[in-house]
């Protein structure tokens, strides 16, 4: 079987034009008018294909294909999200949703009778830009967050999520009568440079990194930059630099098992001729191994104490987010490898460095992911790009895996 690749690429471009502002920037934040327009387009395509569309309380959309023979049995679910970051690319999330829809259409057109229904999910607020936490829709769906709590989330522009979903017409009244999935498979662009650098066509995602986010605040003493001797300073800025160096060096020690980033730094009073009295910085630690994260977190806490004592400053840390690594289903991972080989595609097992709805779905059912290359590793950016042939290759792998999982009736 082959997916209609031309239709998939055309739809990605059409959806990618929804939410483009007058400056040419694509932005579809969750539960905005632009998000509604993107949702409406996906729902229209699903209904035109003859699928039943359900919406739950948190606004997750489920396009369902079932037959009298398999109705009521646990489905095989595909999907991702269609909300975006600010000034986004066309592929992140949207590729998995639209490829899933194309796969259902292929199976219907081929007249194949499956033992299980198929469901294509478009989860709410995966990006977490307008509302927090990220991956909210899938988190609520698997029972990791109460829907009523999530609906009270306040956006960066001061709006309640529940109100905004009502306003755009995507507030389901009840959880849909949909059995928990037998398995979930998510197709996604890599959002990194590994596949392209290795010359691989398919990434077989076997695990997903755990994430530790902290905000560190360092208090020192502001003083004149010209008159205060170096050995008498309590310099919060210098302490921040020591922490930045520590995060980098610690991650380098772990090699491929850890990445560490200081992504945001702010000094007060932030003047060229004043020693900083306060420095605020964020630390992002990621590893596919929980023990590595725990070790790095403990080492960072020790370093904060050491720096405070040595430099006469006060350093404190606040946990912003913490997720454990996810190991995907060995059986589905092996099936993806086998399908890629049968299709003649070069594949490699890979770790996902970014968060995805799949990490939430892994709490509920056997789960795995398929990656296709991202040109230059760019994502969350208008230059995000994957060649058409790679998009179609990934859709073919997903088609075969899903057909295998769903079984012939």
Annotated binding site for Zn(2+): 81, 92, 127, 188, 380
Q: Could you give the count of Cα atoms lying within 13 Å of 400 in the half-sphere of its Cβ?
A: 20
Distance of CA 284 to the CA centre of its chain: 15
Whether omega for the bond prior to residue 19 falls within 30 degrees of 0, making it cis, is no
CA neighbor of 43 nearest in space, from 85, 97, 86: 97
CB atoms within 10 A of CB 298: 10
d(CA 133, CA 123): 13
Q: Could you give the count of Cα atoms lying within 13 Å of 329 in the half-sphere of its Cβ?
A: 21
d(CA 140, CA 148): 9
Q: 172 and 54 in contact (C-beta within 8 Å)? A: yes
CA neighbor of 395 nearest in space, from 194, 256, 188: 188
Q: 380 and 188 in contact (C-beta within 8 Å)? A: no
The gap between the terminal CA atoms of the chain, to the nearest Å, is 17
Q: Could you give the count of Cα atoms lying within 13 Å of 343 in the half-sphere of its Cβ?
A: 24
Q: What is the DSSP string of 27-39?
A: ---TTSHHHHHHH
Q: 362 and 42 in contact (C-beta within 8 Å)? A: no
Beta strand 202-208 pairing with 326-327: antiparallel
d(CA 127, CA 314): 34
Question: Is 20 in a helix, a strand, or coil?
Answer: strand
CA neighbor of 245 nearest in space, from 261, 267, 264: 261
Q: What is the DSSP string of 331-344?
A: HHHHHHHHHHHHHT
Residues contributing to the annotated binding site: 81, 92, 127, 188, 380
Question: Is 406 in a helix, a strand, or coil?
Answer: helix
d(CA 89, CA 85): 9
């Amino acid at each position: 079987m082959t997916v209609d690749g031309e239709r998939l690429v055309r739809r990605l471009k059409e959806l990618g034009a929804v939410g483009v502002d007058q400056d040419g920037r694509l932005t579809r934040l969750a539960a905005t008018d632009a998000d509604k327009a993107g949702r409406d387009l996906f729902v229209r395509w699903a209904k035109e294909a003859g699928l039943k569309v359900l919406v739950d309380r948190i606004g997750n959309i489920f396009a369902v294909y079932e037959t009298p023979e398999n109705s009521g049995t646990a489905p095989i679910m595909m999907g991702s999200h269609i909300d975006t970051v600010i000034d986004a690319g066309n592929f992140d999330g949207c590729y998995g949703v639209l490829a899933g829809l194309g796969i259902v259409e292929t199976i219907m057109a081929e007249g194949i009778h499956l033992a299980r229904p198929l469901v294509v999910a478009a989860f709410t607020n995966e990006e977490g830009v307008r509302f927090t936490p990220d991956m909210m829709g899938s988190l609520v769906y698997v029972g990791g967050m109460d829907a009523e709590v999530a609906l009270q989330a306040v956006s960066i522009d001061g709006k309640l999520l529940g109100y905004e979903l009502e306003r755009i017409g995507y507030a389901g009244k009840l959880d849909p009568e949909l059995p928990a999935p037998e398995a979930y498979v998510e197709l996604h662009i890599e959002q990194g440079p590994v596949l392209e650098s290795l010359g691989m066509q398919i990434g077989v995602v076997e695990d997903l990194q755990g994430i530790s986010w902290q905000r560190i605040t360092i208090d020192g003493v502001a003083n004149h930059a010209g008159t205060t001797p170096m050995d008498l300073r309590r310099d919060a800025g210098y302490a921040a630099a020591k922490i930045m160096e520590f995060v980098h060096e610690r991650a380098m020690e772990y090699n491929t098992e850890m990445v560490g980033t200081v992504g945001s730094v702010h000094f007060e009073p932030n003047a060229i001729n004043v020693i900083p009295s306060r420095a605020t910085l964020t630390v992002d630690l990621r590893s596919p191994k929980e023990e590595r994260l725990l070790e790095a977190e403990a080492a960072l806490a020790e370093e904060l104490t050491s720096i405070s004592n040595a430099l006469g400053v006060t350093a404190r840390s606040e946990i912003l987010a913490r997720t454990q690594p996810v190991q995907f289903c060995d059986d589905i991972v092996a099936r993806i490898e086998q399908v890629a080989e049968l299709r003649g595609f070069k594949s490699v097992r890979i770790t996902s460095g970014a968060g995805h709805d799949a990490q939430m779905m892994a709490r509920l059912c056997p789960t795995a992911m398929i990656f296709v290359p991202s040109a230059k590793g760019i994502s969350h950016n208008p230059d995000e790009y994957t060649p058409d042939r790679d998009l179609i290759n990934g859709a073919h792998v997903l088609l075969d895996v899903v057909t295998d999982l769903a079984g012939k009736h």
